[in-house]
Amino acid sequence: MFKTIGLVGRAGKAEVEETVAEVEAFLCQRDTTLIVETNTASMLSVCEHKVCDREDMGGCDLIVVVGGDGSLLGVARDLAHTNTPVVGVNRGGLGFLAGIPPDQLGLLGDVLAGRYQLEEHFLLQLSLFRDGKLMGESTALNDIVVHSGSLARMIEFNLTVNGDFVYTQRSDGLIVASPTGSTAYSLSAGGPIMHPSLDAIVIVPMFPHTLTSRPLVVRGDSKLEIVITSEPSSSPMVSCDSQVDMAIAEGDIIRVEKAASPLRLVNPEQHSFFESCRSKLDWASRLVGA
């Protein structure tokens, strides 16, 4: 089913380079055509495969990403619009998105044989406007974060959802997360865990200057607008997946909505979101002595 395979790895880590070489050797033993990302090719002592930039890998049947969830976030932003399925071999931390452990490459063989789950994870689309002009745009798989840019500094903004005014808030910032991102930064800020199949967006205030502001969950097709209402005393930013940053100023309008194309994420057949929560978030652990 998957005949043309793209290989992407995160450069700069010895363990990633080791696993990239193992994955390359594993795939060469199968009846596949391998295409290696330009930066990834430098990790192989000898690369006899076609090499191309990541943006040109949309013609692959499957892309294998070796790294952590951060590596998958970047691939999602770059290639989700091509509808190319992506599978991750985890060489990072938690590995919520990268579902294949590096010592279980046999699971990758199962995927190639058609034994897998396919999930669609929607991305968020950010558009930043200043004086009516589009200043920048990006997608995010996990979250879009408006923040003050400085420790112990606040930012003031208005929030509307589908044109309906929600509140004016003074806080360290605001996290807008997809269900995929609900187990990332949003979780550490007190947001709910959402199953990745949900069609919903969570809005999580960051240290709001109030006792009653709580996370808010809205429909996935909602259109959010955040307007910066005061001149910040620091250097505020809006960030996509903590990887793409844009400076913001008083009067800027930040629009967030669901992106047109989802990430098509491949997982092993036995993958379970709840098992991932138990093993990676330490759910249901007994207290010492209990």
Residue-range domain boundaries for the chain: 4-122+262-280, 124-258
CA distance to 59, 210, 270, 283, per residue, from 228 (Å): 41, 18, 45, 38
Residue 57: pLDDT band (50, 70, 90) is: very high
Model pTM? 0.94
CA dihedral 237, 240, 242, 247 (to 10 degrees): -20
Percent of the chain residues topping a pLDDT of 90: 80
Q: What pLDDT is attached to residue 49?
A: 92
Percent of the chain residues topping a pLDDT of 70: 97
For residues 193 and 165, give the distance between their C-alpha atoms in angstroms, rounded to a whole number: 25
Number of CB atoms found within 10 A of residue 17's CB: 20
Average confidence (pLDDT) over 84-93 = 91
- Single-letter amino acid code for the residue at 38: T
7, 37 in Cβ contact below 8 A?
Answer: yes
Q: What pLDDT is attached to residue 274?
A: 92
For residues 81 and 256, give the distance between their C-alpha atoms in angstroms, rounded to a whole number: 17
CATH H-level, domain 124-258: superfamily: Probable inorganic polyphosphate/atp-NAD kinase; domain 2 (2.60.200.30)
238, 225 in Cβ contact below 8 A?
Answer: no
- Higher-scoring residue by pLDDT: 235, 194: 194
- Higher-scoring residue by pLDDT: 13, 272: 272
pLDDT tens figures, 204-213: 999 998 888 8
* pLDDT exceeds cutoff 90 at 287: no
- Which DSSP state fits 180? G
* pLDDT exceeds cutoff 60 at 290: no
For 288, residues 6+ apart whose C-beta sits below 8 A from its C-beta are none
112, 32 in Cβ contact below 8 A?
Answer: yes
Q: What pLDDT is attached to residue 288?
A: 67
Q: What angle do CA 11, 17, 23 make, to 5 degrees?
A: 120
Token pair of 183 as six digits: 């187990």
Phi, psi (rounded to 5 degrees) for 14: -60, -40
20, 9 in Cβ contact below 8 A?
Answer: yes
Q: What average pLDDT does the structure give for the chain? A: 93
List active site positions. Answer: 69
Token pair of 143 as six digits: 């979250």
Give the CATH class of 4-122+262-280.
alpha beta
Count CA within 13 A, CB hemisphere, residue 171. Answer: 23
